[in-house]
Amino acid sequence: MSAIQETGGEIDTLSNDILLLFVPFAEKPEWIERITKRFKGLQIRWVNSIRDNHIIVKAEEVSPEKWDGVTLLTSFLPPPAEFIPKVRFVQLTSAGADRWPGHPKYQDENVIFCTTNGIHAPQIAEWVIGVWLSHQHNFLHYAENMKTRFWESPFAARAQDSTNLRIGILGYGAIGRQCARLANALGMEIYAYTRSERATPESRKDDSYCVPGTGDPNGLLPAKWFHGSSRADVNAFLGQDLDLLVISVPLTAETRHILSHEQFDILSAKKTFVANIARGGHIDQDALIEALEKGKIRGAALDVTDPEPFPADHRLWDAPNLFLTPHVSWKTDFLWDRLLDIVELNVGRLARGERLINVVNRTLHY
């Protein structure tokens, strides 16, 4: 047991470190005070990476003094490598690492990278189930009726509840597990897909950061598990008569356009509803437009597109049965406290020489 756990005292093993939080929210003095008291000698610097007009601050716009000597970094976007020559630990503010491959520090095996996988799960899962219920109960249709004060006959209503329907979760990480938890409450049958096989109870446990009371920590909810890295493996999963498909895999060369024409043809057998909260590059958007226009799927909800921001003249805007939001499913008033919680957790483990949480696999990039 460490000294901090035994006595609540100080840890001085980070006395030569400088932690820079390059994050999109204002400095929290009370957090800084607690951390600097807990980790004796640790210097903390803070840069709000968002201006009042919601414009992202670039690393090059930050005073050089803020970067000087930084050894521990919390950031979403990668700064130029020459800004962080001494960095040894990077805590990403995102659930994925797709912005970093190719960066010299990412390629340096001596630098530890960790994601914040888990802090986004509650709100993103609510977005997924929210858009699903909105579609199933035709909420947007009635919102339009309200604009003209039109009272439609209830006998004209189209609705379908979720009990005994099947949700397929492509990527059973923290977000996928919380989607499963909510879907289970609706009475849905859960099918899970992971890249690697999870054949044993131990392998099905979640080893990522988990907000207390959420997710599927022991992997008990899925009725069936699927796995594989080939398109044939994915296609076999998609062919399981899924009513709702959730895309929650990291974006890699392997998963880019994981849904294209062939996959939408498979989903057409059940007219699956598709929800994508991962990255826009997972879906071939031309194939999605065709699937929606031809009625191959019952609908789609996207919180991510390719590119972002999404061009106003793109024809996807006009596709039928589509709900589109501007990459906001991760938003919640509680997000930044969770981010600071995982930063503190990993800084503590770093100080005690323990394995960090959510360490990035530099081959798989998640």
At 118-171, the pLDDT tens digits run 999 999 999 999 999 999 999 999 999 999 999 999 999 989 999 999 999 999
Render pLDDT for 249-277 as a digit per residue (tens, 0 to 9): 999 889 999 999 999 999 999 999 999 99
Read off the pLDDT of residues 337-347 as tens digits, 9 standing for 90 and up. 999 999 999 99
Q: Does any domain span residue 358? A: no
Mean pLDDT of 194-217: 95
Q: Are residues 149 and 258 in the same domain?
A: yes
User: Considering its fold, how many domains does the chain have in total?
Assistant: 2
Q: What CATH number is attached to the domain comprising 26?
A: 3.40.50.720
Tokens for 209, please give them: 């950061």
**How open is the CA angle 243-178-336, to the nearest 5 degrees?**
135
**324 is written with which tokens?**
């589109």
Say if 361 falls within a structural domain. no
Confidence of residue 104 (pLDDT cuts 50, 70, 90): very high
Is the domain of 82 the same as that of 141?
A: no
Considering the domain architecture, whether residues 170 and 308 belong to the same structural domain is answered as yes
pLDDT tens digits, 174-200: 999 999 999 999 999 999 999 999 999
Separation of alpha carbons 318 and 303, rounded Å: 16
**pLDDT at residue number 8:** 42
Q: How far apart are CA 124 and CA 130, in angstroms?
A: 10
Do 286 and 141 share a domain, yes or no? yes
Please indicate, yes or no, whether residues 126 and 274 belong to a single structural domain of this protein: yes
**d(C-alpha 173, C-alpha 161), whole Å:** 26
Domain interval for residue 61: 3-119+332-352
136 and 19 within one domain: no
164 with 262, same domain: the answer is yes
Tell whether 84 and 223 lie within a shared domain: no
- Is residue 280 predicted with pLDDT exceeding 70? yes
Average pLDDT over residues 318-332: 97
**pTM of the predicted protein model:** 0.91
The band of 363, judged by pLDDT with boundaries at 50, 70 and 90, is: confident
